[in-house]
């Protein structure tokens, strides 16, 4: 007997809709490897409709006073809390994430981040007005940009959706958000919640829209003439394509494109704490995190001891089904990602050593064992490229200079960490490391008040913080004559 698949739908101008041409794509539960839903495979007509709705809603939403935008976001945050269990269930079914960790590690930060941007809506700061030329007064207007086309990734569908829509709406923009084709379920549920709050407060229906689809759908959004800004979290390749496409009509672009975070461990560190924290930060969410602690650099004097301890800790970490309270992480997101992670291990050079793991777990779903690889060189593929899986690599360094060279010697520049009891050394490294974030004796915590974003091929623009809010505004100079 065939089980009927759940039907997910686009959310455009306050209504749930199928793709105009009826096309769909299957949504797979990565725990089982089996489809459980269908989602629209949106085409040009659907993107046109969503952009038209957002464009029509923009003038009224732009003119809503900041206090009312704050009220909307606060009510959205409250609604997310009230319907947290539904969001957790949707996210877990779509990604395979552990239910308990999704409840404690994702819902509270998401709600907090929405509330932060609710406050930011009322903090449109600019330089004070003044006379910088005799007889003339200048002042600054900080305004919303317009319609924002936003593309979220599959590793954190809910949270990355929040990072995109919350600052955009707070600043007075309207939104067309596209989730990944493998993880639309929680985003569609968020649309239902946000749409309900918009309706309750009497705001235009087209302020927030969700369009499901594949890469072609995303490409149509980026190329569409309506959006004034495009924001994407994804691969370097995708970001480069977006930047190239957006340049043709000079759209503003916001890119967060991945990382290869160095974790620099010196000989004076508290090894037990470092091993425990690094293993958690490396394997959390199956290593599917742009900031994951997956590239460890260890001083040669403690290298062997550290590798042994890290391998032991990794071997004790459990992956499994979402309802198992003992698991740290669930499956990889999709079959392609399983193949990618497996491929990195299969192609390891002869000088590399798999200390633990290195294989798929089970014959159903996309589970992969926590893996530690040592004996690597700086130019090895697995050091230079993002694995995006539960794989931690370990290299040895001789001194501070070599540690810095190794750490900076990749094309990514999103996040990093330094582990030492030497304050002066930590300060030197925090200056020398070319990454958007440097943690000291910790790795992976984020707060709404501080910016998240990288350099080099990790992209540009900031998420979270007042800097992230500013990215969704434009600055206008107004000058007036004092003589009438």
Domain chopping of the chain, boundaries:
6-257+458-477, 262-450
Instruction: Read off the pLDDT of each residue in 36-41 and give the average, rounded to a whole number.
Output: 98
What's the pLDDT score for residue 2?
Answer: 54
Alpha helices in 262-411 (DSSP H): 271-283, 303-315, 335-346, 381-384, 400-408
Per-residue pLDDT of 247-299, as tens digits, reads 999 999 999 999 999 999 999 999 999 999 999 999 999 999 999 999 999 99
pLDDT tier for residue 240 given thresholds of 50, 70 and 90: very high
461, two tokens: 């623009």
Q: Per-residue pLDDT for 481 more than 60? A: yes
Decide: 63 and 25 in contact? Cβ < 8 Å: no
Tell me which residues are annotated as active site: 256, 290
Read off the pLDDT of each residue in 401-428 and give the average, rounded to a whole number: 98
Tokens of 117: 């941007």
- In 3D space, the residue among 233, 224, 184 whose CA is nearest the CA of residue 41 turns out to be 184
CA distance 112 to 118: 10
CB of 262 closer than 8 Å to CB of 436:
no
Spell out a b/e string for 422-445, using b for 16 or more CB atoms within 10 Å of the CB, else e: eeebbeebbebbbbbbbbbeebbe
d(Cα 459, Cα 233) in Å, to the nearest integer? 9
CB 469 within 8 A of CB 124: no
Mean pLDDT of 347-359: 98
Mean pLDDT, rounded, for 21-48 = 98
Average pLDDT over residues 362-388: 97
Q: What is the mean pLDDT of the segment spanning 100-124?
A: 96
3.40.50.1820, 3.40.309.10, 1.10.260.30, 3.40.1170.60: which CATH number matches 262-450? Answer: 3.40.309.10
pLDDT score recorded for residue 94 = 94
The Cα 426–Cα 218 span in angstroms is 41
Cα distance between residue 291 and residue 233, in whole Å? 13
Query: Cα–Cα distance between 64 and 207 in angstroms, integer?
Result: 12
Q: What is the pTM of this model?
A: 0.96
Residue 1 predicted with pLDDT over 50: no
> Are the C-beta atoms of 10 and 18 separated by less than 8 Å?
yes
Q: Are 474 and 124 in contact (CB under 8 A)?
A: no
Q: Is 63 left (phi over 0), alpha (psi -120 to 50) or beta?
A: alpha
Residue 484 pLDDT grade (very low, low, confident, very high; cuts 50, 70, 90): confident
> Other CB atoms closer than 10 Å to residue 62's CB: what's the count?
16
Q: Render 133-192 in DSSP notation, one character per residue.
A: ETTEEEEEEEEE-SEEEEE--SSSHHHHHHHHHHHHHHTT-EEEEE--TT--HHHHHHHH
Instruction: Give me the pLDDT at residue 124, please.
Output: 80
Q: What is the CATH number of domain 6-257+458-477?
A: 3.40.605.10
474 class by beta-carbon count within 10 Å (0-12 exposed, 13-18 middle, 19+ buried): middle
Angle at 444 between CA 442 and CA 446, to 5 degrees: 110
380-413: pLDDT as tens digits:
999 999 999 999 999 999 999 999 999 999 999 9
User: What is the C-alpha separation between 214 and 336, in angstroms, rounded?
Assistant: 14
d(CA 213, CA 10): 9
């Amino acid at each position: 007997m065939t089980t009927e698949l759940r039907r997910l739908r686009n959310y455009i101008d306050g209504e749930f809709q199928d793709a105009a041409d009826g096309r769909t794509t299957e949504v797979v539960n990565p725990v089982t490897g089996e489809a459980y839903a269908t989602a629209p495979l949106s085409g040009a007509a659907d993107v046109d409709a969503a952009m038209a709705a957002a464009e029509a809603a923009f003038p009224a939403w732009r003119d809503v006073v900041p206090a009312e935008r704050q009220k909307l976001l606060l009510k959205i945050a409250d609604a997310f809390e009230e319907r947290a269990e539904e969001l957790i269930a949707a996210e877990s079914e779509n990604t395979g994430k552990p239910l308990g960790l999704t409840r404690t590690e994702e819902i509270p930060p998401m709600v907090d981040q929405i509330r932060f941007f609710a406050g930011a809506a009322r903090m449109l700061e600019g330089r004070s007005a003044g006379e910088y030329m005799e007889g003339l007064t200048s002042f600054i207007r900080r305004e919303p940009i317009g319609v924002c086309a936003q593309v979220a990734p599959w590793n954190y569908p809910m949270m990355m959706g929040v990072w995109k829509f919350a600052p955009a709406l707070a600043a007075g923009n309207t939104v067309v958000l596209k989730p990944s084709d493998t993880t639309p379920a929680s985003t569609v549920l968020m649309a239902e919640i946000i749409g309900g709050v918009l309706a309750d407060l009497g705001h235009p229906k087209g302020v927030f829209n969700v369009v499901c689809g594949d890469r072609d759908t995303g490409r149509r959004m980026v190329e569409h003439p309506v959006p004034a800004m495009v924001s994407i979290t994804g691969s370097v390749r995708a970001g480069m394509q977006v930047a190239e496409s957006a340049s043709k009509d000079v759209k503003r672009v916001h890119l967060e494109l991945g990382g290869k975070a160095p974790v620099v461990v010196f000989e004076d560190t508290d090894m037990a704490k470092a091993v425990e924290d690094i293993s958690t930060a490396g394997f959390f969410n199956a290593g599917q995190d742009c900031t994951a602690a997956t590239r460890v650099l260890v001083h040669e004097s403690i290298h062997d001891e550290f590798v042994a301890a890290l391998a032991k800790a990794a071997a004790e970490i459990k992956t499994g089904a979402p309802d198992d309270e003992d698991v740290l992480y669930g499956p990889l997101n999709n079959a392609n990602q399983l193949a990618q992670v497996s491929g990195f291990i299969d192609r390891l050079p002869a000088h590399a050593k798999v200390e633990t793991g290195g294989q798929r777990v089970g014959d159903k779903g996309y589970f992969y064992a926590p893996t530690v690889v040592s004996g690597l060189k700086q130019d090895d593929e697995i050091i230079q490229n993002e694995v995006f899986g539960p794989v931690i690599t370990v290299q040895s360094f001789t001194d501070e200079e070599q540690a810095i060279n190794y750490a900076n010697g990749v094309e990514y520049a999103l996040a990093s960490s330094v582990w030492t009891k030497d304050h002066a050394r930590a300060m030197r490294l925090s200056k020398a490391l070319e990454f958007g974030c440097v943690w000291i004796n910790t790795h992976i915590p984020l707060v709404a008040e501080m910016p998240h974003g990288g350099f080099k091929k990790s992209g540009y623009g900031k998420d979270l913080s007042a800097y992230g809010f500013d990215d969704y505004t434009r600055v206008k100079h107004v000058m007036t004559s004092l003589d009438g």
